Structure 1
């Protein structure tokens, strides 16, 4: 638990974790509704990014643009209230967790098990992200392209 994260409540989950679970339940209900479209997912991602603190929002916007360009076959959607990008089967491949989500000192670019990043018996699946630069963008493009290969 981060020094900034709220202490666990009686069931062992922090306030932020409970909020994320509620967000996920709402996302699942929305996905189950008839007529839910990819455009709904995109709007949900853009709305979530707009709610972030300015530094997190700037990173999330860059991640969104970069992932969308590097892997247009991925569909944007929210996942536990975070911007995420899913494959054709609806499985999350990559996500962005802003530092404010759980009061961490850095944002995270993460990959789920559907990402093709396997490298032997040990490989990273999450990256701390504090600032955007051309080098960071290049690495994110490489990771996302590998993830969907």
Structure 2
């Protein structure tokens, strides 16, 4: 696992060196919210749906806990 800049934004790689998690700053892309996204190599598939991205506004403790769990699973 390692951090790197990916298209100028922070990203994290898995043990195989593939980007699995990325962050997009809202202002850079003129989005309403910042975004945390997951690439297919994150292997977060769980049945017929899986997370691909989340808009981030003002995460509370429960949101942070959920995102940390997904991040750990994605890079693990």
TM class, shorter-length: 0.7 to 0.9
Q: Which has the higher strand share?
A: 2
The whole-number CA distance in structure 1 between the counterparts of 2:15 and 2:72 is 15
Q: Which has the higher helix share?
A: 1
Considering Cα pairs closer than 8 Å and 6+ residues apart, tell me whether 1 or 2 has the greater RCO.
2
Task: Identify if the C-alpha distance between structure 1 residues 132 and 104 changes in structure 2 by more than 3 Å, giving closer, same or farther.
Answer: same
C-alpha RMSD over aligned residues:
1.3
The whole-number CA distance in structure 1 between the counterparts of 2:9 and 2:62 is 24
Count of residue correspondences: 76
> Residue 9 of structure 2 corresponds to which residue in structure 1?
82
1:96 aligns with 2:8: no
Gaps of 5+ in 2: none
Provide runs of 4+ in structure 1 moved above 3 Å.
none
Higher alpha-carbon Rg: 1
The CA deviation at 1:146 is 2.2
Gaps of 5+ in 1: 1-73
The whole-number CA distance in structure 2 between the counterparts of 1:140 and 1:102 is 22
